[in-house]
Chains A and B, each alone.
Chain A
Amino acid sequence: MTEIRTLIVDDSSVMRKIVERALRQAGLDPLVVYEAGNGSDGLEVLKTKQVELILSDINMPSMDGLEFLRQIRAQNLAPGVPVVMITTESSEEHVKEAILAGAQGYIRKPFTAEQVKERVLSLLHAV
């Protein structure tokens, strides 16, 4: 299997580790993970690294996940790369807002490794 380079954006380092573990449990191997604590740092990573997958929280300091998504599209960073939002915000309105901003997937916290596997693998297979 080819290497899956993944950017995980979350202000919680614990949550970044949990997401990484879920990706490994989903069978994404070999997996290369880049981490960022907010949207601004995530954009900086995307300016220097190529990735195949982006997972981002929404509620973060400095630059939130929705603005991060908009900036990815506006600056044409990571074209065609699927973005999955992983967040506690789960209302239909929040999902619509994320989709409009350019997200391809949405996972609500708390989540199971199985849910991450289902969403992520279907997106990677679709690319």
Chain B
Amino acid sequence: MLLNGVRKAAIATAGASGEREMERTMAVSLRESVQLVSDPRNLDASVEEVFELMLGLACRRNPRPAVVEPESVTAVVGFGGLLSGACLFKSSSLTAIKIAARMTGMEFDEVDDTVKDGIGEICNMLAGAWKGKVPNLAANCGLSIPAVITGRDYNLHVQAPEFKLIHHYSFDESSFEVTIICDGLQ
């Protein structure tokens, strides 16, 4: 439900550039380069880039998810255009607070609007960096405005995705998860 709304927003963004953009979009196809688009190294490079440049943090990829904590923060940015789907960033509340503190130089006791805003921006930059790794995608895929969900009581279901990447990372003693779901490629 949420993903549909985010995706619609991204499609609207991708379509906002008018007919010329549409013609160019129609002329390009990503279908033949699905292996390039779904290359897991692109996601790792994007996470490394965003965390290093914006937070000065070196992240390492973990083979398994960390222990699931009771409260979590999830940010979603939708893709629309040549590729449709979403980028999701998920962490515990404590990790979200640590990231926001690092971004702003402020201290937080709880996941307030500023923390949510910061996590939404991280997800936005991850989505932008990831799509920027594939030239056709960079120009022909729009991003939605980030949406942020708190709490754990939700399910994300995409019927027959083209591909799905779920990677786990950590820095210091904090961990987070980044997911790329693609449910349509033109």
Query: A residues touching B (Cβ–Cβ < 8 Å)?
Result: 11-15, 17-18, 21, 59-61, 64, 87-94, 97, 108-112
Contact = CB atoms under 8 A, between A and B. Distances in A.
B16 interface: yes
B143 A59 contact: yes
A17 B139 CA distance: 28
Given A15-B121, A59-B145, A110-B50, A90 B128 contact: yes
Interface stretch (B32-40, B64-72, B98-106, B166-174): B98-106
Given A88-B129, A94-B139, A14 B117 contact: yes
A111 B50 CA distance: 8
A91 B139 contact: yes
20 contacts: A12-B118, A12-B121, A14-B100, A14-B104, A14-B114, A15-B121, A59-B143, A88-B127, A88-B128, A88-B132, A88-B143, A89-B138, A90-B132, A91-B132, A91-B135, A94-B138, A97-B17, A109-B124, A110-B54, A111-B53
Contacts of B17: 97
A21 B55 CA distance: 13
A111 B125 CA distance: 10
Interface of B: 13, 16-17, 24, 49-50, 53-54, 100, 103-105, 114, 117-118, 120-121, 124-125, 127-129, 132, 135, 138-139, 143, 145
A110 B143 contact: no
| Chain B binding surface SS class | helix
| Most chain A beta-carbon contacts within 10 A, residue among B13, B24, B49 | B13
Nearest to A21: B105
A12 B103 CA distance: 12
Given A21-B105, A89-B128, A109-B54, 9 more contacts: A11-B145, A18-B54, A59-B13, A59-B143, A59-B145, A109-B128, A110-B53, A111-B54, A112-B53
Given A88-B124, A89-B128, A64 B104 contact: no
A100 B13 CA distance: 19
A93 B139 contact: yes
Nearest to A115: B53
Given A13-B114, A97-B17, A110-B49, A18 B104 contact: yes
A11 B9 CA distance: 15
